[in-house]
Amino acid sequence: MKIDRLPSGSLPRPARPFQRLTVIGSGAYGTALAHIAAQADTQVSLWSRRAELADEINATSRNSSYLPHVEISPSVTASDNLKTVLQDAEATLLVVPSKVIRQAAEALRTTIPAGVPIVVCAKGIEAETGMLMSQIVEEELPGHPVGALSGPTFASELAAGHPSAATLAFSFDQSDRLDPENSAAARMAVTLTTPAFRTYLSDDLIGVEIGGAVKNVIAIACGMMRGAGFAENTRAALITRGLDEMKALAEALGGRRETVTGLSGIGDLTLTCSSTTSRNMSLGMQLGSGLDREACFDGKPIVVEGEANAKSVTDLARKLAVPMPICEAVRAILHDGQPIATTFARFWSEPIESEPRAMSLTVEHPAQFATSSIFKEIAT
């Protein structure tokens, strides 16, 4: 395989894929990525927290709990033993929920081979520290190159072979720039790339990870408005202004606004805000239709990443003095018990702002009091 992450006008250089990959996490996304890597002629070891699920994957090439309609490549072998799956690993994908990412990284300390690159596939911001997922892994596992994979990829579609793309980000040091085809980023990119799954490279870890964390919160907002009876204009406005919130937070942390306009930002945001396949969008719709949180998902304890991220994202934004009114609205509803109708009425009646930041213009909203009646009428 070849990769074309090179200066303009240069010929693509060949990159050498990793031959033995370990995937930590046998949920839908972890299983899908293991299947994808195996299709790219990589020997894949998949770690499952549950021994019975590992046994099922090995015996039937199926993951009936999380990806029931996909026949998993026979090149994927599963185990509930971390030492076994990491024994000969050349690279690792860490595909666990964001709330347990630190715990998972700690568990790898004594088992992961020295210097093995780690790609974080969780999306979020740690509540207690405000750290990104890659920063947590770097802190817990020093000496390992750490990257992040993010983009508009529903696991079921990815595993089914629908053409998909995502961004793979690593920090590029001087040696990587002098010898890019042998960088962890390039080698991981060709390890995961198949005829249907295409990766793009980035050296902006912050921008890529902020897109993944914030998009879930915006998707809840879009779901709430759709559940309350609003239509496509409303969703398009929330996506666009949500993108601006992503850009502002990424830039404040040292990321690039340009990154957020790529697959890990607007790409993932558009997908997550457009389909009830997204748990975030689905939760928002159920809340917007009037259900209490406890009644959503038929009362099942479904983990929705954007629910926790609504608080961690806004906590971080407040520390950095970055205005994020849509994320603040979602936080107020989910964590402060505020009504959906009045919360979004306040957002819609905020002072009129200029879109180009250079204008720096704000004027009073002429219909701020009438706005609330629109939201109350639809919501009730």
**Is 238 found in the same domain as 130?**
no
Answer whether residue 232 is part of any domain. Answer: yes
Please tell me whether residues 234 and 166 are part of one structural domain.
no
In a domain, 154, yes or no: yes
pLDDT digits (tens, 9 = 90+) for 56-101: 999 999 999 999 999 999 999 999 999 999 999 999 999 999 999 9
Do 143 and 236 reside in the same domain of the chain?
Answer: no
Q: How far apart are CA 42 and CA 36, in angstroms?
A: 9
| Domain that residue 174 falls in | 2-203
User: Does residue 2 register a pLDDT over 60?
Assistant: no
User: Does residue 222 share a domain with residue 318?
Assistant: yes
Is the domain of 123 the same as that of 237? no
Threshold 0.85, pTM exceeds: yes
The answer to whether residue 208 is domain-embedded is no
Query: Is there a domain that residue 362 lies in?
Result: yes
pLDDT at 1 over 60: no
How do the residues of the chain divide into helix, strand and coil, expressed in percent and rounded to 5?
50, 15, 35
* Contact between residue 264 and residue 167 where contact means Cβ atoms under 8 Å apart: yes
Q: Does 107 lie in the same domain as 84?
A: yes
Q: Assess if residue 329 is contained within a domain.
A: yes
- The band of 14, judged by pLDDT with boundaries at 50, 70 and 90, is confident
Can you tell me whether residue 79 is helix, strand or coil? strand
What confidence tens digit (pLDDT) does each residue in 296-305 have? 999 999 989 9
Query: Do residues 195 and 297 share a domain?
Result: no
Find the DSSP H helices in 131-276.
133-140, 155-160, 174-178, 184-192, 205-227, 232-252, 257-260, 268-272
Q: Do 197 and 220 have their domain in common?
A: no
Please report the pLDDT score of residue 360 as a whole number. Answer: 85
| 209 inside domain | no
DSSP labels for 328-371?
A: HHHHHHHHS---HHHHHHHHHTSPEE-SSGGG--EE--TTHHHH
Same domain, 226 and 369: yes
Last residue of a domain, one of 203, 234, 260: 203
Q: Please give the angle made by the CA atoms of 112, 114 and 115, to the nearest 5 degrees.
A: 110
Task: Examine the residue annotation and report whether 215 is marked as an active-site residue of this protein.
Answer: yes
Tens of pLDDT along 317-368? Answer: 999 999 999 999 999 999 999 999 999 999 999 988 888 888 889 898 887 7
With a cut of 60, say whether residue 228 has pLDDT above it: yes
Q: Is 43 part of a structural domain of the chain? A: yes
Q: Is residue 232 domain-shared with residue 332, that is, in the same domain? A: yes
pLDDT single digits (tens) 243-298: 999 999 999 999 999 999 999 999 999 999 999 999 999 999 999 999 999 999 99
Measured distance CA(139)–CA(116) in Å, rounded: 15
Please name the residues in contact with 63: beta carbons below 8 A apart, sequence gap of 6 or more. 26, 28, 31, 53, 56, 57, 70, 72
Q: What is the pLDDT at residue 10? A: 59
Examine residue 142 and state whether it is found in any structural domain, yes or no. yes
Q: Which helix (H) or strand (E) segment is 121 a member of? A: none
**How many folded domains does the chain comprise?**
2
Are residues 375 and 268 located together in one domain of the fold?
yes
Domain boundary among 164, 180, 203: 203
The tokens describing 362, both together, are 């704000």
Q: Which of 2, 83, 215, 311 is catalytic?
A: 215
CATH code of the domain covering residue 290: 1.10.1040.10
Residues 59 and 151 both lie in one domain: yes
| Residue 187: CATH number of its domain | 3.40.50.720
Which of 172, 203, 234 marks a domain boundary? Answer: 203
Dihedral angle sign, alpha carbons of residues 83, 85, 87, 93: negative
